[in-house]
Amino acid sequence: MMIHFILPGDNLENIAEKIRLENPVYLKEFHNQHCLKEDFIVDDLVPGKKLLLPDFTKIKTYNDKNDAPFKSPELNPKIVFNPIGFNEKFKTTIKESSINDAKTIDKSFSYIASLQWIKNELGEHLFHFTKDQFSNRNNTKMESLAIESMKYLYPIEVFVNVKGEILRTALKKQTLNNFNQIKEKLLDFFPDKYAEIYLEEFEYAALNPDIFDQRMKEDWFLKSYFSSFRNPFENGKSFFELYLEKTVLNIQQTAKLTDNKEEILLHQTLKNKEENQDDFTGNLSVSKNNGMIRSLNAVYSYKEFSVSYSTEFSIVNI
């Protein structure tokens, strides 16, 4: 038996964590079985009073019961990936802000993302991905050119593995075969030398499979929707890596309890959050039936030199 003098801010949960007792309810049970009558704990811990702690052998006995709350099936969901027949649209919104010397610059835009399952072949699922209905644009000529250029490339082929993790992206063969005609149409729509320069670069990136794949994997929708968030849970937690803004983030994921029998709610944070480090939070609603995301909201912030950047990304099934 050990003795702990209760400090301000102490609770059963944080004391149990320190002594590696999985279920904090046994702290109160053990103490009340061995303490004097006047030291009996009814509700909250009282700073300054003694708390009797179980020794390592007793802690192991408690842990062997395997009944800690974080071990419940609800907090350790098995997220399937069964996208066969999936064909959905999502309202997608991105809000970006930067703060430099108390000056804030905000911009936001939205679009409709379409995701359609095509087939499963050799252990890979093929999806078609399309963006449309862009809003809140700056309506500059170059922005219009960029959007129109990409529209001619859709739908884009997206290949994912059996866990729902993105493998590669590619243009359809038909798009590649018709690329010269696509470029000619764009030059007709945007007949100036700057558009011609842009389209030369656009052609190089589109027709180079490695460059095209790399750029598409940087798309916020694709890298969020087809991340490794389905990794198995253990003791109420799951871990995976997420690549954002050229940085690999180590994400810790927990499940939330819900009365909805058709969905799984997930909360994501950085595994190790330190002062002045990047920050990330995410909340997902996932279908229990097929493991596909219904809604997602994520906020990522970081600091580069003296400028603070923040991006909020959200998708909602419509």
Amino acid 44: pLDDT: 87
pLDDT at 276 over 60: no
Neighbour order of strands in the sheet with 293-304: 166-170, 156-160, 124-135, 103-121, 87-100, 307-317, 293-304, 279-287, 263-270, 247-256, 238-244
Longest CA–CA separation in the chain, Å: 90
Amino acid at the residue 196: E
Amino acid 275: pLDDT: 52
pLDDT at 175 over 70: yes
Q: Cα separation of 145 and 134, whole Å?
A: 13
pLDDT at 214 over 90: yes
Q: Cα separation of 294 and 296, whole Å?
A: 7
CA distances 109 to 9, 132, 311, Å, are 44, 12, 12
Amino acid 303: pLDDT: 87
| Interval 89-115 mean pLDDT | 92
- pLDDT tens digits along 23-51: 999 999 999 999 999 899 988 899 999 99
| Interval 157-164 mean pLDDT | 97
- pLDDT tens digits along 285-305: 999 999 999 999 999 999 888
| Interval 167-192 mean pLDDT | 93
Beta strands 279-287; 293-304: pairing state: antiparallel
Q: What is the DSSP letter of 43?
A: S
Amino acid 135: pLDDT: 85
- pLDDT tens digits along 221-247: 999 999 999 999 998 999 999 998 778
Q: Cα separation of 276 and 314, whole Å?
A: 25
> What's this model's pTM, rounded to 2 decimal places?
0.81
Res. 1 pLDDT band, cuts 50 70 90? confident
- pLDDT tens digits along 111-142: 999 999 999 999 999 999 999 998 865 667 77
The sign of the dihedral angle between the CA atoms of 248, 169, 138, 114 is negative
Tell me the H-state helices in 66-163: 141-151
Amino acid 138: pLDDT: 60
Q: What percent of the chain has pLDDT over 70?
A: 98
- pLDDT tens digits along 46-70: 999 999 999 999 999 998 888 888 8
Q: Cα separation of 131 and 166, whole Å?
A: 18
Of 107, 76, 137, 36, the C-alpha closest to 310 is: 107
CA distances 159 to 112, 163, 294, 302, Å, are 20, 11, 20, 30
CA 256 distance to own-chain centroid = 15
**Inter-residue contact 280 to 270 (CB < 8 Å):** yes
| Interval 83-95 mean pLDDT | 97
Q: Cα separation of 56 and 62, whole Å?
A: 10
Amino acid at the residue 312: E
pLDDT at 268 over 60: yes
Amino acid 274: pLDDT: 64
pLDDT at 7 over 60: yes
| Interval 136-158 mean pLDDT | 84
pLDDT at 278 over 90: no
